[in-house]
Amino acid sequence: MFPKSDAIAFASCLPGNDSDEFNLHLSDLSWFPSASTKPPPYLHTCLALWDEITTNGFVTKGDCAQSNDSGDPLLLWDGPAHADGRDHAWVYYVKGAARGMIALFTAFICIKNSLKLNIMHPVLYDSLRFICCRRGSMSNDLTRVAFTNAKLSARGSIRRSHDVATWLSKMSMLCERGLKADSAIKSWNSEATRESQLVGQKRVALLALLNAPNGTKELLLQHASFFGSSSAYSEECFSAKNLFPGSQPRSVLDKAWRARLTVTDPGFLLFLQYTDACHHQKVPEVRGKLSKERILELSQLAQLVTSMEQELKDGGVVTTKISEALLACDGNLELELQVALSKKSSKWKIADVTLVQEVLKNHSFRSS
């Protein structure tokens, strides 16, 4: 459906300079995670790019009516050789991975559904027959490429500067390759604009998240991908130490309640899931950054539920019904837990909760 034209010269490798533009075929573009220093494109970004491409075509050369970088060539770098020696999907992106993947998605949809794109949308078809590219970095150093991408991401109306979730993914990748987070942040700040530097609460939040339980990065990326700028989390949100595992409530004197509200790994992960679930319940017009008080409340509700299920498990009753109800934003459960949290009575027992009573009743019935 997208044959190579004999009239177009296609490159098979990158040039030795960063000024010459060259053409690649769709099959050269990569969809593999290792092709980019960023996480997979956010959903809201993909939808915006899909609308842009289906309207104007996949413009990588020449002027574009849009006020963003959609008319720029894809920027590539000379990454490590592929172990399988493949001659397709071989490129590494400095900038343009999201656009490249949307182009591949468009081609996949057309091929899978036998759509005659040359008839249905000739402008889009012609724009996909060759992809204009340029070398975006002469460096072969992954850290340098990652920072170049971060600088370029601050430009354009669709591709925006990195949020905490993206920085978390990028720093995790660099740390896995032996670079220390403090060194990477210091190196980035030395060349970044004042606005884009990782300092203050953003730096504290990033370092804390790098040490958070496994699964944190994936949950935050999933949330950011769906909600975009309407995410529940502000940049400084995770600079609060009382959200992370090991934190104990300072103002709680009752030992039982201190134990219940001491943050654990499962409690922290449930907090992220619960926050996401609550945000989905809101209509788009009222979604926005949550206050630190609301964030703490969600954290304590999630940890209380985690402790309740652990207490039941210790007593021989294994269940996830309470956490499932919390993630379903069960209003009755939330109200009962909020009342319990507000009082923190030493006489309170988990069996006081209606749903726990039902769980215990069902357990007794099955055991009899």
Report the mean per-residue pLDDT for the chain: 89
Look at 35-44, 56-65, 138-147, 233-242 and tell me which has the smallest mean pLDDT: 56-65
Pairwise pLDDT comparison (166 vs 65), residue with the higher score: 166
**Which pLDDT does position 156 carry in this prediction?**
52
**CA atoms within 13 A of residue 91's CA, in its CB half-sphere:** 30
For the whole model, what pTM was predicted?
0.74
**CA atoms within 13 A of residue 68's CA, in its CB half-sphere:** 18
**Which pLDDT does position 154 carry in this prediction?**
62
Q: Categorize the per-residue pLDDT at 163 as very low, low, confident or very high, splitting at 50, 70 and 90.
A: confident
pLDDT for 95-104, tens place per residue? 999 999 999 9
Q: Categorize the per-residue pLDDT at 45 as very low, low, confident or very high, splitting at 50, 70 and 90.
A: confident
**Which pLDDT does position 368 carry in this prediction?**
57
Look at 150-154, 183-187, 346-350 and tell me which has the smallest mean pLDDT: 150-154
In percent, the amount of the chain with pLDDT more than 90 equals: 60
> How much of the chain is in helix, strand and coil states, percent to nearest 5?
55, 5, 40
pLDDT for 190-213, tens place per residue? 888 787 888 898 899 999 999 999
Within 10 Å of residue 285's Cβ, how many Cβ atoms?
Answer: 7
Q: Which amino acid is at 68?
A: N
Mean pLDDT of 81-102: 91
d(CA 94, CA 38): 9
Domain residue extents for the chain: 1-140, 227-367
